[in-house]
Amino acid sequence: MPGVPDSGDSGLRAANTRLRELLAERDARIEEQAARIAEQAAENAELRQAMAALQSQVADLAAQVKANSRNSSKPPSSDGLAKPSPKSLRGKSGRRPGRPKGQPGATMELTDQPDKTVKHRPAKCGCCGKSLKNAPVTAVERRQVIDIPPVKAVTTEHQMLTVQCGCGRETKARAPDGVTAPVQYGPRAAALGTYLWHGQFLSRDRACAALGEMFGCAPSPGALAAQARKIAGLLSPALAVITAALAGADVAHFDATGFRVAGKLAGPLRCGRCGGASGALAGQCRESRAAGAGKVVRRRCRTARRRRA
* pLDDT (0 to 100) of residue 257: 58
Q: What percent of the chain has pLDDT over 70?
A: 76
Q: 267: pLDDT confidence band, cut at 50, 70 and 90?
A: low
* pLDDT (0 to 100) of residue 15: 86
DSSP structure string for 23-77 = HHHHHHHHHHHHHHHHHHHHHHHHHHHHHHHHHHHHHHHHHHHH--TTTSS--GG
Q: How far apart are CA 181 and CA 189, in angstroms?
A: 15
Single-letter amino acid code for the residue at 77: S
In tens, the pLDDT along 215-259 reads: 999 999 999 999 999 999 999 999 999 888 888 888 766 655 555
Single-letter amino acid code for the residue at 86: P
Alpha helices, H only, the chain: 9-66, 187-194, 204-215, 221-248, 286-291, 302-308
**Selected residue with higher pLDDT from 2 and 185:** 185
In tens, the pLDDT along 9-59 reads: 788 888 888 898 999 999 999 999 999 999 999 999 999 999 999 999 999
Q: How far apart are CA 11 and CA 240, in angstroms?
A: 124
Q: ∠5-11-12 over CA atoms, to 5°?
A: 140
In tens, the pLDDT along 131-181 reads: 999 999 999 999 999 999 999 999 999 999 999 999 999 999 999 998 999
What average pLDDT does the segment 90-107 reach? 78
Name all contacts of 255-259 with Cβ < 8 Å and 24+ positions apart. 255/300, 255/301, 255/304, 256/298, 256/299, 256/300
